[in-house]
């Protein structure tokens, strides 16, 4: 097989190179062991709008180098900033994504996903999928009407998620909700799923194939399933859970090729199409994840930058 160049983009430390996130290191090291392709990585802030950089790190040769990302055979986006992110300039990253998309460079986690699904609004827009009952609200909304039919308590979430930050369980009361919200911000108002105490099942898909799952069990008294408030373990989904997740992947038709489906009870809590937090170490898939990522890369290259469904 022809040696190729994979361009990684995300958050890295410089001038002394290191990965900002352990999961990125594990995924990339697994890829380097799986194939002999070259692998470059650059911080979003160091990739200019011409798609060139003087600060790419060559992981094979362990050195900094200049690079033209328009010549990469495929892209792997490890993270991307949301508005207000402290990790990278959001507006610069968004403009760079638009340039990468316009050039038609194959990308595993599609650039379209970042540009077209920048937040969790899809949960409301896709009423054909079994998401929890959800409304979009602000402090200016008619909150009394918004909570109708959601039960008590309700869950309030920022429209742009950040690993569970800002998620709250609130009494189904308009005044209580308004006090929990910041003016000028949009929120998702959802029904509370009591099954969350038994754990959230997260199923990971590479190249549209199910590969492994993790269960996130909230600690005593908690209901949020981020790393600070839950215990993560590898999990074997039931036939019903697997069917639910596979159906959601097929029906949603995301253009991305590394995806996650989160299930609570019989509901799809949410789907992640950009950077799905792979839980590599706790699931013991350090070796396999490189091969699975390459399956997604091969599919993206075969599609030539076009949408893959």
Over the stretch 142-160, which tens digit does the pLDDT of each residue have? 999 999 999 999 999 988 7
Q: Span 235-243, mean pLDDT?
A: 98
- Tell the residue number behind the tokens 């919200």, with chain if given: 181
278 and 260 inside one domain: yes
Say if residue 163's pLDDT is above 60.
Answer: no
Nearest alpha-carbon partner for 180 in 199, 200, 162, 153: 153
Say if residue 308's pLDDT is above 60.
Answer: no
57 and 105 inside one domain: yes
Say if residue 171's pLDDT is above 90.
Answer: yes
What's the pTM value of the predicted model, to 2 decimals? Answer: 0.93
- Whole-angstrom Cα distance, residue 116 to residue 98? 11
Whether omega for the bond prior to residue 117 falls within 30 degrees of 0, making it cis, is no
In a domain, 258, yes or no: yes
Nearest alpha-carbon partner for 181 in 156, 164, 160: 156
pLDDT confidence tier of residue 229, bands split at 50, 70 and 90: confident
Domain extent at residue 262: 195-303
Of all residues in the chain, the percent with pLDDT exceeding 70 is 96
In a domain, 120, yes or no: no
Say if residue 46's pLDDT is above 50.
Answer: yes
Q: Cα–chain-centroid distance for residue 35?
A: 24
In a domain, 212, yes or no: yes
223 and 271 inside one domain: yes
77 and 148 inside one domain: no
Summarised one tens digit per residue, pLDDT across range 63-113 is: 999 999 999 999 999 999 988 889 999 999 999 999 999 999 999 999 998
- Tell me what pLDDT residue 240 has: 98
In a domain, 128, yes or no: no
174 and 248 inside one domain: no
Last residue of a domain, one of 192, 219, 236: 192
51 and 79 inside one domain: yes
139 and 93 inside one domain: no
- Whole-angstrom Cα distance, residue 24 to residue 9? 11
In a domain, 164, yes or no: yes
Say if residue 243's pLDDT is above 80.
Answer: yes
In a domain, 308, yes or no: no
- Tell me what pLDDT residue 309 has: 44
Say if residue 1's pLDDT is above 80.
Answer: no
Last residue of a domain, one of 148, 166, 192: 192
- Tell me what pLDDT residue 162 has: 58
CATH number for the domain that contains residue 150: 3.30.1490.20
Summarised one tens digit per residue, pLDDT across range 246-264 is: 999 999 999 999 999 999 9
Last residue of a domain, one of 192, 209, 227: 192
- Tell me what pLDDT residue 249 has: 97
Inter-residue contact 269 to 230 (CB < 8 Å): no
- Tell me what pLDDT residue 192 has: 95
- Whole-angstrom Cα distance, residue 169 to residue 300? 40
210 and 185 inside one domain: no
175 and 216 inside one domain: no
CATH number for the domain that contains residue 28: 3.40.50.20
Nearest alpha-carbon partner for 29 in 46, 8, 54, 56: 8
CATH number for the domain that contains residue 267: 3.30.470.20
Summarised one tens digit per residue, pLDDT across range 256-290 is: 999 999 999 999 999 999 888 999 999 999 999 99
Our count of domains for the chain comes to 3
Q: Span 38-44, mean pLDDT?
A: 98
């Amino acid at each position: 097989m022809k040696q190729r160049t994979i361009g990684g983009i995300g958050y890295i430390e410089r001038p002394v190179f290191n990965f900002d996130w352990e999961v990125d290191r594990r995924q990339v090291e697994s890829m380097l062991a799986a194939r002999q392709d070259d692998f470059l990585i650059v911080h979003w802030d160091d990739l200019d709008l011409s798609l060139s950089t003087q600060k790419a790190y060559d992981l094979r040769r362990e050195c900094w180098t200049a690079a033209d990302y328009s010549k990469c055979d495929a892209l792997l986006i490890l993270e991307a900033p949301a508005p207000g992110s402290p990790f990278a300039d959001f507006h610069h990253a968004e403009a760079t994504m638009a340039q990468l998309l316009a050039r038609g460079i194959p990308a595993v986690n599609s650039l379209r996903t970042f540009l077209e699904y920048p937040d969790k609004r899809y949960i409301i827009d896709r009423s054909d999928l079994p998401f929890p009952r959800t409304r979009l609200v602000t402090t200016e909304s008619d909150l009394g009407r918004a909570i109708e039919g959601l039960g008590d308590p309700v869950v309030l979430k920022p429209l742009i998620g950040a690993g569970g930050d800002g998620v709250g369980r609130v009494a189904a009361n308009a005044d209580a909700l308004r006090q929990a919200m910041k003016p000028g911000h949009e929120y998702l108002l959802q029904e509370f799923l009591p099954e969350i105490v038994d754990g959230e099942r997260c199923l990971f898909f590479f190249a549209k194939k199910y590969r492994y799952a993790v269960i996130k069990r909230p600690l005593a008294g908690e209901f949020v399933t981020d790393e600070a408030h839950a215990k993560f373990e590898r999990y074997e989904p039931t036939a019903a859970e697997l069917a639910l997740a596979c159906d959601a992947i097929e029906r949603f038709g995301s253009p991305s090729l590394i995806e996650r489906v989160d299930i609570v009870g019989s509901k799809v809590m949410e789907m992640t199409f950009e950077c799905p937090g792979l839980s590599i170490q706790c699931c013991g898939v350090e070796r396999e994840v490189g091969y699975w990522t390459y399956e997604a890369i091969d599919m993206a290259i075969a599609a030539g930058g076009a949408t893959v469904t």
